[in-house]
Amino acid sequence: MTRSRSGCSPSRLDAIPFVVALASGEVVGWAALRPYSHRCAYRGVGDLSVYVAREARGKGVGGRLLAALEQRARARGIHKIVLFALSDNRTGRALYDKRGFCEVGVHREHGILDGRLRDVVVMEKIL
């Protein structure tokens, strides 16, 4: 791990917290944190991604993945999780609301899906 002149490490996420959900020995979902920024000032912030296989959705897998990931993040000194979600992703939004994430704001015309610019909601949770 490299260190800046100020002596702080660039991220507490050099080893990325990553959890998977298994059903009958098969992976049916995963969640992970990437560093939010390479800058030292943001080294305690993780950027969330989560995915659950279609056939496994609506059974609490996403909620359990986030709970496990938050626990691992806390243990590594991560103090905050941020996420970026397409504004029409209602299932994702329901999951994040349930896990206590708060909306920070909306990036207008920020992501491209199916050739169209989409608004992206920014959410965060302080651990």
Ligand X SMILES: CC(C)(COP(=O)(O)OP(=O)(O)OC[C@H]1O[C@@H](n2cnc3c(N)ncnc32)[C@H](O)[C@@H]1OP(=O)(O)O)[C@@H](O)C(=O)NCCC(=O)NCCS
Give contact residues for ligand X (rule: CB under 6 A).
50-52, 57-63, 85, 89, 91-92, 94-95, 98
Instruction: Compute the least distance from the CB of residue 99 to ligand X, in Å.
Output: 8
Overall size of the chain counted in residues? 127
Instruction: Compute the least distance from the CB of residue 85 to ligand X, in Å.
Output: 3
Instruction: Compute the least distance from the CB of residue 110 to ligand X, in Å.
Output: 13
Closer Cβ to ligand X, 8 or 23, answer by number: 23
Closer Cβ to ligand X, 13 or 50, answer by number: 50
The H or E element that residue 62 is part of is: helix 61-75
Closer Cβ to ligand X, 59 or 76, answer by number: 59
Backbone angles phi, psi at 124, to 5 degrees: -150, 160
**Distance in angstroms (rounded) separating the CA atoms of residues 67 and 65:** 5
Tell me the residue nearest to ligand X as measured from the CB: 62
Strand boundaries in 4-115, DSSP class E: 18-23, 26-35, 45-52, 80-86, 102-113
List the structure tokens of 78: 């991560």
Closer Cβ to ligand X, 60 or 77, answer by number: 60
